[in-house]
Structure 1
Amino acid sequence: MTINCKGDLIDLSEPKIMGILNLTPDSFYDGGKYKDESIILRQVEQMLADGATFIDMGAYSSRPGAEHVSEDQELQRMLPILELILDNFPETLISIDTFRSKVASESLQRGAALINDISAGNLDSNMFATIAQYQVPYIMMHLKGTPQSMQKKAVYDDLIKDLRYYFSEKMSETTAHKINDVIIDPGFGFAKTTEQNYTLLNHLDLFRTFKVPLLIGLSRKSMIYKVLKSSPKEALNGSTALHTITLLKGANILRVHDVKEAKECVMLVEALKANAL
């Protein structure tokens, strides 16, 4: 299983790590942490050294109830840092976490390699056409509503059946637009209760039937620290435990805050698989 990033085929048969770089002041874990250019560059350098294949940059906080940010403000946060990183680490495969086609287009013109859309095109009708134009890998996440309203929409007739139907429709749309590299993200924490997140985790392997890469983003989320009665800062061990489970259930990309620990999960699970009888 491969995806084409800027002309290079990335083999996802061994899972890869996507390191998170939040450029927002209000993200649930590391909001406001990366303001200074030198701090940003040190963090990117460390994530790459620790084994990240991709760096995922986000300039619009999608945490539950996050404040809305204008398109211009998102661009002002995103583009200078994108250029800064690629000037210093030109081979970096940067994923842009945005649901806006203009932000996607401007970022791709400046050297980004992937688009990570929490809305799978639902919040911008031009997104699919933009992805088709640039022919870059496209991550489609499951979301109901918006970041501001999603937690009020965690109601399903049948959670797994509803999500599978959602992705079936989205896969048909991407096929119609001739988008070649699609990655699906079931959206842990987005319009889902803690209990629903664990139901989704239990049935994660059912999403392998789409025969496209599966990205998982649950690093330090509330589904971990609420169960442990702790906080995002104390949720590394819980994240590691759940990352291991997702890898055993077929995850191809882990989107994480802690690259080194996630990479170790991959190495251990790969050793386990290599020595299966």
Structure 2
Amino acid sequence: MTNPNEIHFRGANFDFNITESPIIYSILNLTPDSFYDGGVNTCIDQVLDRIETEMSYGAKIFELGGKSSKPHFDDISADEEWQRVEPYLKAIQKRFPNIVLAIDSNTNSVIERALQSGIQIINDIDGFNSQTKLDLVQQYHPSVVTMFNGRNFDEQSATLEDTMQSFFSETIARLKQAGLQKENIVIDPGVGFSDRNTLEFDLIKMRFTKQMRQFATPIMIAISQKSFVKRLFDADSGERLIPTLLFEAYMTQLGGRIIRVHNVKETQELIKTYQIFKDLLND
């Protein structure tokens, strides 16, 4: 029996106890236009080798993405999005039959195809805001990541925390009504998702991580290489790693437990350092 004071992230064929230590959730963008690594993963064998290496560094979950969600992204058809993902998915499942896979998609038919293909986790930047998606959740019972997408709201700094509070309360309730348990639901404050792209909003969302613990669900840290670092330090994409790691450590201290990243090896080092830090504080 699970200790009621523990926090688990559970789904089909996986159960991660994240009470004390975060886990690594690796991003595999299969798009030519992603903000950080667009066009990098262009060879199936290269991706398979990358997964094997990142598993050795402790990555537990691998997320496939067939469409960029960067600000003002160019939308594509559902068929094109799925065609980017499917060949990689089949090869990954063949080589790593026990792997835990997620898909980053807000497209109804792509989500359905992913679930039919055995993907265990759906990461929807729109927070499962349609009945079609909720019906798919009810039918397939996947685990989910539901994100607060500031582009879907009239964000105001004075009311942003209240808006996020209402969003997560309502979204978790809808997902539970569709048959999920809290340990199947990961919540993400959506740092970096704003049409106005303001640093002020991103800092509010990072601080809100502490308040998100009230929902007793796993909390995602998804700030890897985000552009708020550019606004702080005028850093291009090759210079954002150290600030990213420091902010991830801050959000981990506030309660974040699933770190969604491009840089797995460095994140493993962050987690080891975080554990040492915790031990020193407890001495």
TM-score w.r.t. length of structure 2: 0.90
Q: Displacement, 1:224? A: 1.2
> Match of 1:233?
238
Aligned to 2:275: 270
Residue matched to 2:121: 114
CA distance in 2, matches of 1:158, 1:165: 11
Aligned mate of 1:186, from 179, 186, 189: 189
Helix, strand or coil at the partner of 1:21: strand
State the alpha-carbon separation in 2 of the partners of residues 66 and 125 from structure 1: 24
Letter in 2 for 1:90: P
Shift of 1:100: 2.1
SS at match of 1:247: helix
Q: Which runs of 4+ in 1 moved over 4 A?
A: none
Mapping for residues 118-267 of structure 1, pairs under 5 Å: 118-122=125-129, 124-145=130-151, 153-180=154-181, 181-191=184-194, 192-267=197-272
Q: Aligned-residue CA RMSD in angstroms? A: 1.6
What SS does the corresponding residue of 2:146 show, helix, strand or coil?
strand
> Unaligned regions of 5+ residues in structure 2, if any?
1-6
Deviations 1:29-78 (A, max 9, x none): 00011111122112222221211100111111000011001111111111
1:9 is displaced (CA, Å) by: 1.8
Task: Please list, as runs of the form range in 1=range in 2, the aligned pairs for 1:10-25 lying within 5 A after superposition.
Answer: 10-13=16-19, 14-25=21-32
1:194–1:222 Cα contact (<8 Å) kept: no
Matched, 1:98 2:101: no
Which whole-Å deviations, capped at 9, do the CAs of 1:101-156 have from their partners, x for residues lacking one? 3212211222212111100122x43111212222121110011446xxx8xx5445
Decide whether the 8 Å contact of 1:57 with 1:94 is kept in 2.
Answer: yes
- Does the residue aligned with 1:9 lie in a helix, a strand or coil? strand
Give the Cα–Cα distance (whole angstroms) in 1 for the partners of residues 143 and 110 of structure 2. 15
Is this contact kept in 2: 1:156–1:162, CA < 8 A? no
SS, match of residue 217 in structure 2? coil
For residues 77 and 125 of structure 1, what CA distance do their matches in structure 2 show? 26
Take 1:54 and 1:161, find their aligned partners in 2: how far apart are those partners?
A: 31
Instruction: Pick which of 227-236 and 194-203 moved more.
Output: 194-203
CA-to-partner distance for each residue in 1:150-203, whole Å, 9 max, x for gaps? Answer: 8xx544551111111111111121122122211100101111521211122233
What residue identity is the alignment partner of 2:210?
A: D
**Per-residue deviation, residues 230-255 of structure 1 (Å, max 9, x unmatched):** 11111111111111111111101000
Cα 1:65–1:164 shift into 2, 3 Å = same
Distance 1:45 1:7, change over 3 A: closer
Aligned residue for 1:3, secondary structure, equals strand
Q: Is the Cα contact below 8 Å between 1:4 and 1:136 reproduced in 2?
A: no
> Unpaired runs of 5+ in structure 1?
none
> Matched residues in 2 for 1:25 and 1:183: separation?
27
Q: Identity of aligned pairs, percent? A: 29
**Letter of the aligned partner of 2:192 in structure 1?**
G
- Residue 79 of structure 1: how far off its partner (Å): 1.4
